[in-house]
Structures are given as structure tokens and as C-alpha cells.
Amino acid sequence: MATTPRFKAIASFLFKLFRVLIVLGIAFLLAFWLYAIRSKPVKKELVQTPPSVKVFEAHSRSEVMTVEAFGTVSPRTLVKIAVEVPGRIAYLNPGFLEGGLIENQDLLVQIDPQSYGLGKEAAAVHVAQARVDIDSLNQEVENLKNDMELAKANVILTEKELGRMTALNQNQFASKTSLDKAEQQHLAARIQLQTIQNRRLLIPTMMEQKKAALAMANVEFDKAALALERTRILSGFDGFVLDKQAEVGEYVNVGQVLGAVYEKDALDVEVKIPLEQMRWIQTFFDNGRTPAARVSIANFNDPEKRVWEARVARIKASIDEKTRTLPMTLEIQSKDGGNGPRAALFDLKPGTFVNCKIIGETRENIFVLPRHLLKPGDVLFVVTDSRLEMRRVEVLRKFEEEVYINGGLANGDKIIASPLPGAIEGMELSIKENGLQTGTKP
């Protein structure tokens, strides 16, 4: 009875083993059957296809070297309207408002001229009086001339009478009293003649005094006239009012600023050019000329694409210490912007931020390519006889999104325009269908 549990355990183990062997046998038979019915693979030879690329033919052209810069428009002629004589403002031009248009010789401001007019009249009276004094002195000169002739004749007569009395007194025909009287008359005649001569000697000095008085009166008259004239402030050009700081009836003092005006169609732009960019416009200055420029409003979508012609007017005398650039001034050429509020809205005004393109020298036989095609080390990928050539080129300039090549390329060279990862010198390439383009750019 003790052997019965052991017998059952052995029987259970053998039964499980038998089931495992049956499963393995079925799996083996199934695997053998699948192996027997398998299809044999067809052997294919590996064919290497060269990468396809898109290319374009390079062609040289003439290219103008432009220098771009940004600047702010400022008036070329800006005049502050200041008072030259004190007084109360009696008149202001209706156009003397911020943004108002004024014309040449327009009366902008009138200071009350009443007191200055009276001052001019008073000065005119002084001038007239000084001229009368000179005329009186001239008449006195004529009178003294006649008096001197009479005085000389009187001296001669009294001298003769004295001689006659002296002779009669010596012959006892005339008394001593008569002789003394003749001597007194002769002495009086001589004194009168001397007085007239002394008066005539003083005439030049007196005339100079009178002339000086007349000159001073004329100066006072000119000062009064100038003061009266300065009560009127006129515009010296056609322009616009930048600001206004006065009203009619306000009392103003000498030197007080009433506003500012700037000349129409006379605007400048100051730009700062990096020194390395000066090489493209240097030849103009070497030949005694100044390069032209074009100015357009920056950061503004202008539907009319308005461009103002300009010219480099002058170069500043020193380099900007902060930016290490060379400041220069562009003069915007006059351009009629039309009439009406819309034209005024789109006209250039002081303070406008503008983009300036200075037209530099022209270079011949230049290849202009997209900048992204240039690889490190100034290398271009070129297809030569269906193989890749990593050609080193001479770069003249890198400008914005373009690169200017002036050496290392020839007309008709096929430049790869598509990406080429894993590029190796001499690798075989194929050109995509419709992948050959002509021109300087893809």
C-alpha cells in the first residue's frame, strides 16, 4: 500500500512528458513542412545610382556696387524766428502754424510799429536840423568873406587917414587930439580885420563839428529806420513752419524765439558708412566727384514705391568713435510731390527714417550668386564631366543675400543649386530632368 502514491507520481510525470514530446513532434513536422514548401529568392545585382542634383549655368554681368545705410531726414536750412526789437505782437501770418506752408518774403510777424515810427520821424527832424546848421555855417563863410574885404578896405583908409594926420601934425596943421583919434580908428579897423580872420580860421573846425552832428543824426535816423524795419519779420524762402511759440497781443523781448521754419525741398540725411564699405565709392572722391544716391522711406510699405534722388554732399572730418564709421551727409534733390493733403502726407519730412543706397562704382564680369551656395572656405560645388568639383573661388563682396564672385568661375559653369549631403570630391552626379537653368541665379 505504501508504494501506491509513488507509482501515481511516476505515472503523472510520464504522462506530462508524453504530452510535451507530442507537441514538440508536431512542431518539428510543421517546421519541416514549411521549409519544404518555401520559395527560393531571386538573386538581384545591386546597381548604384549617382545622386541627382539641380544645377544652373553661371553667366557674368556688370554689377553696380551699392552701399546701403539708414539715416534720419533733417532740414538743410532751419531758421529760428527770433525778435530783434521789443514790443507787442500786432500781426501773425495765418500760415504761421505748425506744418503751415509759407512763401518767400511772406510777412510772418509784425511788432507794433507805432513807437518805432515816431522814433524815425524824430531822427529825421534831427537830420534836417543838422543840415540847416551846415547851410547856416556856409552862409556865414560867405558873409565873413565879404566882411573881410570891407575890413581890409577900412584898414587901408584908416591907415591913409593916420598918415595924413601925422603929416599935418608935424606941420602944426592938426592937433594932437585929431592924430590920436586917427590912430584909434586905424587900430579899431585892424582889430576888426583880425577878428574876422580869427573867425574864418575857426570855420573849418566848426564845419567838421556840424558835419559830425549831421553824420550822427543820419546814424540815429538809420538806427530808427532799422528798428522800424525789424518790427517786420519776413520769410527768406519757401518752406514749412516747424513750430510756433507766440500769439497776437503777446509782449516779446529781444532774442525771444517765436518759432522755427525750414526750407521746402531742402532736406539732408546724415548716414554713417563702415570704413570697409568706402572702397566701393572711393573712386568718385578720388576723381573729384561725389556719388549719387537714392532715398526711400524705411520700414514702410509705400504703395507708390517713391524714391528720392540724392547726392553725397560732404564727408565729416572725423570718424565716429563709438561705431567706427565715417559720417557723411546726403542732399536730397528737389522733387515735386504734387498738391493736396495726400501728397503732403507722403512727402519727406524732418525726422523720417529712411533707407539710403549710395551708387558706387561698376564692376565688370561679376558672377552674382545666392549667398547660401557658398560653402566654408569660399568653395562652390560645380558639376564637371558629371562629377563633383569643389572649386575654390575669389569672393569680391558679400552683400545681403548675395555673393559677388570675380574669380574662379567661367561662363557656362554648372553650379549645383540643390543640397548635396555627404559630398565627396569627384563623386559621380546626375543632373535632374529639367534641372538645368540658365542665368546668374537659380
| CA dist., res. 13 & res. 123, Å (int) | 151
The average pLDDT across 387-399 equals 92
Q: How confident is the model at residue 343 (pLDDT cuts 50, 70, 90)?
A: very low
Q: Which three cell numbers stand for residue 35?
A: 521549409
Whose CA is closest to 410, among 107, 147, 135, 60? 60
Mean pLDDT of the chain: 86
25 three-state secondary structure: helix
Question: What torsion, rounded to 10 degrees, do the Cα atoms 247, 248, 249, 252 define?
Answer: 60
pLDDT of residue 344: 45
Say which residue, 232 or 344, is predicted with more confidence.
Answer: 232
**Confidence (pTM):** 0.65
The label of the residue with cell 515810427 reads: 117
280: DSSP letter: G
Least confident of 4-13, 53-62, 95-104, 253-262: 4-13
Each residue's pLDDT tens digit, 73-84: 999 999 999 999
Each residue's pLDDT tens digit, 345-379: 457 889 999 999 999 999 999 999 999 999 999 99
| CA dist., res. 414 & res. 380, Å (int) | 10
Least confident of 154-168, 270-284, 374-388: 154-168
pLDDT of residue 394: 94
Q: How confident is the model at residue 182 (pLDDT cuts 50, 70, 90)?
A: confident
* Residue 54 near residue 415, CB atoms below 8 Å: no
Question: Angle CA(419)–CA(422)–CA(426) in degrees, nearest 5?
Answer: 95
On the question of pLDDT at 339 being above 50, the answer is: no
The average pLDDT across 271-289 equals 89
Give me the residues paired with residue 232 across strands.
110
pLDDT of residue 370: 92
| CA dist., res. 385 & res. 440, Å (int) | 20
On the question of pLDDT at 414 being above 70, the answer is: yes
The average pLDDT across 294-317 equals 86
Whose CA is closest to 108, among 233, 265, 14, 217? 233
Each residue's pLDDT tens digit, 89-105: 999 999 999 989 999 99
Give me the residues paired with residue 354 across strands.
71, 297
Each residue's pLDDT tens digit, 86-144: 999 999 999 999 989 999 999 999 999 999 999 999 999 999 999 999 999 899 888 88
